[in-house]
Chain A
Amino acid sequence: MGKDECKTMLDALNKVTACYRHLVIALGSTSDSQNLREELKKTRKKAQELAVANRTKLTALLKDKTTSKDDRAEYERLWVLFTSSMELLEVDMKRSLELGQDFPLKVPTRHFIQTGMTGSTTTVAARAMSVQNMKYDADSNIDTTDLKELQAEITQVGQMMEEMQMKVQVAPWAVEAKQEAGAELKSTLSIGNSSVGVISICEEEPKDEMDEGGDDNGMITCVAGFMFIVIVVIAGVLGYFVVGG
């Protein structure tokens, strides 16, 4: 159905936007590198594809005058989601252009800010592109060539947004949200359980975090220990049979 397709595509766009923001935050810091620039480029391209697909689908759905009132309300809600995602994307793209220009890669001494982040952003980009491992195959002057493309893409996105607003008459403030306050807590309860050790941020909050981390740790070690014992027992039984038989 049109609605479900739209929803999945919007979820994908949302995911890519979040990951793109994550990558842009890393620009200019010590976790910046050639790879990061390439990841940014790939994520951006994916985001654009998704955006165009979403846009065509949603404009088609919204232009259809024969939809029922509930359907129309739902499409308007999806439209608001889409435009908000695009706004975030546009701002992030503009910022990445500026930051990319301020922190070039090809100079003899790189002046990256020592922010304390040393890891790589491969996993985030992999999540954005929905692949297992990222492949890096760009050439060495990606930062300069990419920036020119980025400028063109930013103008493209700007034009797309303007077109969208002209074509589709949706009043964003009339949309009612489905989630109530605190909805994000319910959706991430399952995630909390699977985290291995919640980290302690700064000296102020070590006690809370460590207790929860300890609980999680304890539970998982219990489960692991149990599994281990079960496997050992089975191995022992089988071995006994092999030896006995």
Chain B
Amino acid sequence: MQEPKSGVKGADQKLNITTIPHIITGQDILAWIVTKMKVSTEEAQAFGTMLVAFGYIYPLQNHKKLVLVPDSTQYRFQTPYFWPAQKWPAEDTDYAIYLAKRNIRKKGMLEPYEQQHYNNFHKWMNYKWDFIVMQATEQYKASKERKKPDRVVLDCQERAYWIVQRPPRRTHSAMDTGLDRLIDPNAEEILTFDVVRRTNIFLTQALMRSAVKSSVSLTAFVKYVTTHHVHDPFLTSPVPSNPWITDSDDFWQLNSRNVEIPTKLSVDRWALSFWELISDPRGRADFKLFLKKEHSGENMAFYEAAEEMRWGAATAIPEKSQFIFNTFLKPGAPRWINIDGRTMGLTVKGLDCPHRYVLDAAQTHIFLLMKKDTFYRYLKSPVYKDMQKRALVPAPHNFTDVQLEANAKNRNPGVSPIIQWQQQETEKAAAAAAARPIDVKAMLATNKLDRK
């Protein structure tokens, strides 16, 4: 690219007194890329902008805007030390030294974002601060030893490097540092016998696995996407508006756990499969209401109790297993569930030494029961049909820029998770109270069963 004949034409930069060579203009770079790589102008433009954004070439005038402008804007090549490299990440210590040097040069007038970083470093890297100050002064003095044009170039280079590595606001830089890993991904892996042996085992096991035909799996995938794409916020924009974009949390309010009237989209989603109905808390509440009307709530209660045991604390397992046995599985239990004899026998035997997954067989049986029978009755029931009629279709928001700014300012933190947890606990207590076996004598005492 630097050939005197076939490369980009270089020119001289003329500052007030000094002349610095090796300037290249944007349009020259663009023309050269087009001829050398034989691509269209747009591609060359994109490639050139990438070169600038990564920091191989830096602009001289608008130094914060890292794009290739195809006119007479001036650029210069960056020295290889400052090229971006994964091996040499830009360290905070170096940045602190650079900011200190800049402080000296600018006599204390750093830009606001630089000042912020500087103060931050002074706070968090305080133990190294002496070193940073000493190094900065020494580097400043060392750079003074060179001639004026070189000093200008050095300053420009370093500034361009740090704009790429620590971009100020609204500068798009291409830098993308990954996680701080303990192993170096660029290091060559030494092939020992053990590594080869383990790779062999892995590959033989992979071959032995039975694989689903791609035609089958892809059809399933396509089917899933076609049924669910309306519900995916990436594929269809959610109504009323995506809270992450417009900062208005109506969407979350309309889809919360204890909303009175759910949205049409949720209600439609419940009809897709029993699992969807159960996973949505609002849907689960609706289903439980239906079951209460049918007086067959014990299946759902058992399912929830089994889930609690599965996901709960290990210390609570014996106590929970006792409770479940007494409430659901004992012959003559108040909320006896109707599972087949074999499963019942296995479960009761397993409850002698209860562990997390003793109720798995029974839970699966109940789940299938609900899915194959109750679920379809639910979909045809007046509860569900009524809900479908009442469901809301919220109108999409159309915020102006001013309103968006106002929304961003008035963001509220939402319901505190502590309060949500308390609400859930009270609901659970109320449900447990309602599910307790009715004490006939107590009811007689309060004259509720008055036949007269």
Contact = CB atoms under 8 A, between A and B. Distances in A.
A102 B150 CA distance: 23
A27 B63 contact: no
Size range of the interface on A?
Answer: 35 or more
B149 interface: yes
Nearest to A121: B146
Contact of B60 (A15, A123, A202): A202
B273 interface: no
B77 interface: yes
B149 A114 contact: no
B61 A14 contact: no
Given A77-B130, A113-B77, A181-B122, A118 B150 contact: yes
A123 B156 CA distance: 20
B13 A191 contact: no
Contacts of A17: 135, 138
B88 A119 contact: no
Contacts of A22: 139, 142-143
A61 interface: no
Given A28-B80, A103-B80, A117-B153, A191 B141 contact: yes
Nearest to A183: B133
B137 interface: yes
Contact of B127 (A27, A175, A183): A175
A213 B152 CA distance: 14
Nearest to B62: A204
Contacts of B145: 123-124, 126-127
A187 B131 contact: no
Interface string B410-434: 0000000000000000000000000
A158 B450 CA distance: 92
Contacts of B128: 80, 84, 172, 177
B144 A195 contact: yes
B130 A81 contact: yes
Interface string B107-147: 11000000000110010001111110111111111111111
Interface string A98-137: 1100110000000101111111010110111000000000
Interface in B136-173: 136-157, 159
B149 A118 contact: yes
Given A11-B134, A14-B138, A113-B80, A184 B118 contact: no
B82 to A, nearest CB: 7
Contacts of A202: 60-61, 63, 156
B76 A206 contact: no
A72 interface: no
Contact residues of B: prevailing secondary structure: helix
Nearest to B129: A177
A62 B150 CA distance: 42
B79 A28 contact: yes
Nearest to A127: B145
B2 to A, nearest CB: 5
Interface string B1-41: 01000000010010111101111000000000000000000
A207 to B, nearest CB: 11
B135 A18 contact: yes
Interface string A76-102: 010011001101100100010011001
Given A25-B79, A99-B80, A202-B60, A179 B130 contact: yes
Contacts of B23: 116
B274 to A, nearest CB: 56
A99 B77 contact: no
B266 interface: no
B81 interface: yes
Contacts of B87: 98
A14 B128 CA distance: 13
Interface in B253-306: none
Contacts of A178: 130
A173 B22 CA distance: 45
Given A177-B126, A188-B140, A191-B144, A117 B154 contact: yes
B220 interface: no
A2 interface: no
B141 A119 contact: no
Given A114-B2, A184-B136, A199-B148, A80 B131 contact: yes
Contacts of B76: 115-116
A147 interface: no
Scoring A22, A87, A202 by chain B CB atoms within 10 A of each residue's CB, the highest score goes to A202
A109 to B, nearest CB: 9
A116 B119 CA distance: 33
A217 B76 CA distance: 30
Interface of A: 11, 14-15, 17-19, 21-22, 24-31, 77, 80-81, 84-85, 87-88, 91, 95, 98-99, 102-103, 111, 113-119, 121, 123-124, 126-128, 172-185, 187-188, 191-192, 195, 197, 199-204, 206, 210
Closest 3 CB pairs of A and B: A177-B129, A18-B138, A28-B80
30 contacts: A15-B141, A17-B135, A17-B138, A18-B138, A18-B139, A19-B142, A25-B81, A29-B80, A77-B130, A80-B128, A80-B130, A95-B88, A113-B2, A113-B77, A113-B79, A114-B22, A116-B76, A117-B79, A119-B147, A177-B128, A179-B130, A181-B119, A181-B122, A184-B136, A197-B148, A199-B148, A201-B152, A201-B155, A202-B61, A206-B16
Given A116-B76, A185-B107, A201-B159, 14 more contacts: A15-B141, A25-B79, A28-B81, A29-B80, A114-B21, A116-B149, A117-B153, A123-B146, A126-B145, A177-B128, A184-B101, A200-B16, A202-B60, A206-B16
